[in-house]
Amino acid sequence: MKKIKLDIVGLSYSQTQSGAYALVLGEVGGNRRLPVIIGGFEAQSIAVEIEKMTPSRPLTHDLFKSFAETFRINLEEILIYNLIDGIFFAKLICSDGSQTTEIDARTSDAVALAVRFECPIYTYDFIMNTAGIVIEGNDFAFLENIENVGNYKPAENSDQEVEEKPIEKEKVKNKPSPYASLSLEQLEKTLVEAIENEQYETAAKIRDEIEKRK
């Protein structure tokens, strides 16, 4: 079965549903996008690595990478290999140089590790046909329309897993960013403070506002 390579197009938070995030993976060389509902912790972990933020202490996915490297295990690739009853299934393809092993993983954890190991992310065509979205024009305009993310409710217990499903999109009116009134200098100062206080969700939102002004 032919594999399709994916890149991370964006990570969007919902302004209408607190705690909901959309991880958007894009087909390399194509115009199909695969949006996935993920939990807040995993979203923050992905954002921290993409934005090259430096936490004061290692996050869980940083610890996994350090552990793997200590024992000379490399993450070769990530494969989102199935979609059953609306739930994505992914696996890590790992190697110690002599043996390759496949490890079951949630899609969000797999992607969080992929950005740290700088390894490719793949899926199959039938998954893109089933859950993918064909877009025209600007990727970021597409992201701005993903506001009402499925029926996701943020977990009251941080240990509770989030079902990582395709997103049921509804176009809603975008609300202005709470940081829109701040100057660029104020935003950068607030970003530094958020990172120092390990408020990575806030830092990601501030970074989004800074990027909009460039």
CATH of the domain at 86: 3.10.690.10
Higher local confidence (pLDDT), 64 or 167: 64
- 142 and 58, same structural domain? yes
- One domain for residues 169 and 190: no
Which residues form the domain of 199? 176-214
pLDDT averaged over every residue in the chain:
81
> How many CA atoms, within 13 angstroms, populate the side-chain half-sphere of residue 191?
21
Looking at per-residue confidence, does 25 or 136 come out higher?
A: 25
Q: What is the pTM of this model?
A: 0.71
Q: Once rounded to an integer, what is the mean pLDDT over residues 110-138? A: 91
Calpha distance 48→60 (Å, rounded): 12
What pLDDT, on the 0 to 100 scale, is given for residue 14?
Answer: 55
Our count of domains for the chain comes to 2
Say if residue 109 is in the same domain as residue 143: yes
> Is residue 10 domain-shared with residue 45, that is, in the same domain?
yes
User: Does 137 lie in the same domain as 207?
Assistant: no
* CA neighbor of 202 nearest in space, from 7, 16, 18, 8: 18
155 vs 121, higher pLDDT: 121
Range ranked top by mean pLDDT from 31-40, 42-51, 64-73, 81-90: 64-73
For residue 39, is pLDDT > 80?
A: yes
Question: Residue 186 — very low, low, confident or very high, per pLDDT cuts 50/70/90?
Answer: confident
119 in the same domain as 45: yes
Are residues 189 and 86 part of one domain? no
More confident residue, 125 or 155: 125
* 165 and 194 inside one domain: no
If DSSP codes are grouped into helix, strand and coil, which group holds residue 35? strand
Q: Assign 201 a pLDDT band (cuts: 50, 70, 90).
A: low
Shared-domain flag, residues 133 and 205 = no
pLDDT at 147: 45
Question: Are residues 50 and 154 located together in one domain of the fold?
Answer: yes
d(CA 37, CA 148): 11
180 and 80 together in one domain: no
- Same domain flag for 169 and 180: no
